[in-house]
Amino acid sequence: MKTLGIEHIEKVEKGTILSAKGFKAGGIHAGLRYAKKDFGMIYSEKPASCGAVYTQSHFQAPPLKVTQDSISQQQMLQAIVVNSAVANACTGEQGLKDAYTTRHLIADRFQIPEEFIAVASTGVIGEWLPMDKIEKGCSEVMVESNEDSAQSFQQAILTTDTVEKSACYQLEIEGEIITIGGAAKGSGMIHPNMATMLGFITTDATIASEKLQVALSEAINQSFNQITVDGETSTNDMVLVMANGMVEHKTLDEKHPDWKTFKKGLQLVCEDLAKQIARDGEGATKLVEVEVVDAYTDDEARVIAKKVVGSDLVKTAVYGADANWGRIIGAIGHSDATVNPETCDIYIGETLVFHQGTPQAFSEDIVSSYMKGEKVEIKIALHIGTGVGKAWGCDLTYDYVKINASYRT
């Protein structure tokens, strides 16, 4: 048996949603997009426990409502069907009917109960699904277990993303190796009109839906909920996880000795995907990571980190490689969290630029040169507690404006 690291968690290079046992996937061109793949599916050999997190938007799109309806019945999923190009959002009664039809067609063809099927869409808001093409997708999509089919799925869910996004980690539970893999899409939190951040996670661990939901919600608070490209929330955002129990071990719950390890593994997959989304933000040239330590609570640390990483002024300064810590102060300053200016330290990379309420002398050249790299880390130490948190985003560039000023035309 393969031996895992100290924490019993190891990243699997090139791992995917098919790395865990018992999953199949596929993606095809059904005609919603001009030439690219636009219709995908994940399938589990056995009905799987599941967890789901949905957008907080008031305008929740029909596919999310259908998915909620499915999960509410037996808390199990066996398939997830996804289309790109059209979000089926803000489409009224007809949109809901279309999402149910999609679910029905897949249930019929794969001979699985309708309530075991989740539906997801991403694309333009306010247009109805072209149902002839959706029908084509439902009748032609193939699911297989080879890595090509994982890649086809990854491609089928993209909109203006420039790269596919996947992540995979393995960990030991009772001496058995279990795998958690994921795929995601997203490049603006709302993509122009091309809505959405979507995340799909598969694992062969044995766990009930109720506990899986707990683990997913925790993981998401420290990952997908901590990225921002433009501060927008889409109508279609959704993260789904399926656990099919193909690796047999005592069912995971809070009392299981490996519960924390499993949660950590799930969080690492989510964090890895979330960072890939942030890095692929519209027009972005680099990943920005903000870490807040010694905050009053973890929640407050996360709030501040997200505020800083989401500030247009910080984002433009990063783009310009300008060590403009006044903008970081500005962003920290207007959060609702507890802050004492007299005890606040700010680092850009390794350089202390602001210490306990007072500007520090530092080499602008060294910091500017650091900020020209692929990843910029900002660290804020508040010295008022033990709370920690991170958030990820990207720089704000001419290309962001270009992409979004002329998206539909």
Q: What are the binding residues for substrate?
A: 159, 185, 196, 282, 404, 409
Whole-number minimum distance, CB 368 to a copy of itself, in Å? Answer: 8
User: Residue 289: enclosing H or E segment and its boundaries?
Assistant: strand 287-295
Whole-number minimum distance, CB 147 to a copy of itself, in Å? Answer: 35
Whole-number minimum distance, CB 407 to a copy of itself, in Å? Answer: 7
Instruction: Decide whether 122 or 179 has the Cβ nearer to a copy of itself.
Output: 122
| Residue 142, both tokens | 């193939």
Instruction: Decide whether 77 or 229 has the Cβ nearer to a copy of itself.
Output: 229
The binding site for a copy of itself (CB under 8 A) comprises 55-59, 89-92, 124-127, 188, 190, 192-193, 195, 230-235, 311-313, 316-317, 319-320, 322, 324-327, 329-335, 339-341, 354, 357-359, 368, 396-398, 400-402, 404-409
Q: Report the amino acid identity of residue 390.
A: K
Marked catalytic residue, from 102, 196, 202, 261: 196
Residues whose CB is less than 8 angstroms from the CB of residue 216 and which lie 6 or more positions away in sequence, other chains included: 51, 52, 53, 201, 239, 241, 266
Whole-number minimum distance, CB 90 to a copy of itself, in Å? Answer: 6
Q: Report the amino acid identity of residue 292.
A: V
In whole angstroms, give the CA distance from residue 308 to residue 136.
Answer: 45
Residues whose CB is less than 8 angstroms from the CB of residue 347 and which lie 6 or more positions away in sequence, other chains included: 353, 377, 378, 379, 380, 381
- Strand 287-295, strand 238-243: pairing: unpaired
Beta bridge partners of 239: 53, 199
In whole angstroms, give the CA distance from residue 69 to residue 263.
Answer: 26
- Strand 76-83, strand 198-203: pairing: unpaired
Instruction: Decide whether 105 or 331 has the Cβ nearer to a copy of itself.
Output: 331
Instruction: Decide whether 73 or 356 has the Cβ nearer to a copy of itself.
Output: 356
Enumerate the known binding-site residues: 159, 185, 196, 282, 404, 409
Q: Report the amino acid identity of residue 129.
A: L
Is 316 an annotated catalytic residue?
Answer: no
Beta bridge partners of 24: 43
Quick check: 154 and 165 in contact, CB under 8 A? Answer: yes
In whole angstroms, give the CA distance from residue 335 to residue 385.
Answer: 17
Whole-number minimum distance, CB 19 to a copy of itself, in Å? Answer: 34
Instruction: Decide whether 60 or 209 has the Cβ nearer to a copy of itself.
Output: 60
Core vs surface per residue 84-113: b (16+ CB within 10 A) or e? bbbbbbebeeebbbbbbbbbebbbeebebe
Instruction: Decide whether 33 or 327 has the Cβ nearer to a copy of itself.
Output: 327
Task: Please compute, for residue 154, the number of CA atoms within 13 A of its CA located in the half-sphere on the CB side.
Answer: 22
Whole-number minimum distance, CB 333 to a copy of itself, in Å? Answer: 3
Beta bridge partners of 94: none
In whole angstroms, give the CA distance from residue 22 to residue 112.
Answer: 16
Name the residues annotated as catalytic.
196
